[in-house]
Chains A and B, each alone.
Chain A
Amino acid sequence: MSDYPNITDAPFWSNLDFDSEIDDEMLLIEIYCSVIASTKNRFTRDTIVGMADYIDDEWEGAEDYKNQLLEPGPNFVHPSIVQRNKVFEDFDSLSVKYGEEHFTNFIQTFYDTYPKAEYSTPIEYLDSLNANNVFHIKWASIYDMLFFIQEYLKK
């Protein structure tokens, strides 16, 4: 295994018996780890660079690679869909582990109380901080976390 999709599978988790800890601090940790491990920070040998912005202009294969991204074929599933499905699957498991009502209330409160300045939602606020849509890894992680919570709450 080149990486651990679930933090609970990492050796230190069982070494320290983290299964015996179930409280709101652990819930935040597990939500964060789910989002981080499922999104942009998790790279495997099968990872596809899904954004043309990161392709070197001088590379002679750049155009073909970009076309491949634009027209990936009928069986292609965009990485963001795969990531979302994995996070939602994790959230379902956490909902069972921590109790459905508690889990829902926790993520709703997290979302509602996250800083948003004068904007209606934290997502709008985060968008405003990155108007040119430049990739910043920490901004992206926080955005992913709040976006997935927002979408999960809509389910």
Chain B
Amino acid sequence: MTKDECRAIFKTAWYKAIQKDIYPRHIMGSYIGRAYFMSEICMLLFPENNIADQLNFDAYEKTSGTQSRSTQNDFKSLGILTAPFEEQELSSLTKGNVVFLIIENPTLLKKLAGKITSYLYMGENCLFNANMGCIINWSEWKENTEWIPRLLFYAQISCNNSISLDGKQFRPNGDADKLIWEEFWSKV
């Protein structure tokens, strides 16, 4: 895969993900950009025999993807591994992992609904917001004394599962898919 091919895939998925949030079905719902982006990446890298084209983003948008317990259950059903952060560091992550963090100001912001936010890890301590519109650098942002952010858990695709639906497979799955998946993210 060349850098140009990788960029073309990234751009297509990014554009479609942003459109999903600019023209939402549930404008009072949660951002689905990051989740849609990942499903598009999966479909563009593995267009055949892939259940990613059957994911229900309508429900995800309506019910908020930041409910950590239900999200972790969804990930488990899809063969996506989750692990809690032992330290407030991103050193154990690889690009393409999904990170969940919480902001915990003890005096302010108690009325904010969404305190848990998901991010896409982009390497070099960079986290892409769930809306796919801005990036923070965790190594400095974690020192934010007003918002007091704390890493909760992260998720990564296992590439080793037997999940299927209506004859279609969850992908990436298997060594061949894993190679393609890792090659893509290595260029990001």
Interface residues of A (CB under 8 A from B): 1-4, 7, 10-12, 15-18, 20-21, 25-26, 28-29, 32-33, 35-37, 41-45, 47, 49, 53-56, 59, 61, 65, 115, 126, 129-130, 135-139, 141-142, 145
Contacts and interface: CB of A to CB of B under 8 A. Distances in A.
A45 B146 contact: yes
Interface string B68-99: 00000000000000000000000000000000
Main secondary structure of the interface of B (DSSP, over half): loop
B122 A10 contact: yes
Contacts of A61: 107
B163 interface: no
B108 A54 contact: yes
Given A12-B188, A136-B28, A138-B28, A3 B146 contact: no
Interface residues of B, number: 46
24 contacts: A2-B136, A3-B135, A10-B135, A11-B123, A12-B122, A16-B10, A17-B4, A25-B15, A26-B11, A37-B133, A41-B131, A41-B133, A41-B134, A44-B144, A49-B108, A55-B108, A56-B107, A56-B110, A56-B111, A136-B27, A138-B27, A139-B28, A142-B24, A142-B27
A136 B144 CA distance: 23
Nearest to B141: A2
A46 B138 CA distance: 16
B147 interface: yes
Contacts of A26: 11
Q: Which 4 residue pairs spanning A and B have beta carbons closest together?
A: A36-B133, A2-B140, A37-B134, A56-B110
Given A25-B11, A28-B15, A3 B131 contact: no
B14 interface: yes
A1 B147 CA distance: 17
Nearest to A145: B22
A21 B8 CA distance: 9
Given A11-B126, A37-B134, A142-B27, A28 B18 contact: yes
A16 B133 contact: no
Interface in B29-83: 29-31
Nearest to A56: B110
Contacts of A138: 21, 24, 27-31, 131
Contacts of A56: 107-111
Contact of B147 (A12, A47, A59, A126): A47
A29 B17 CA distance: 10
A142 B110 CA distance: 24
A36 B3 contact: no
Contacts of B133: 7, 32-33, 35-37, 41, 141
Nearest to A26: B11
Nearest to B28: A136
A83 to B, nearest CB: 13
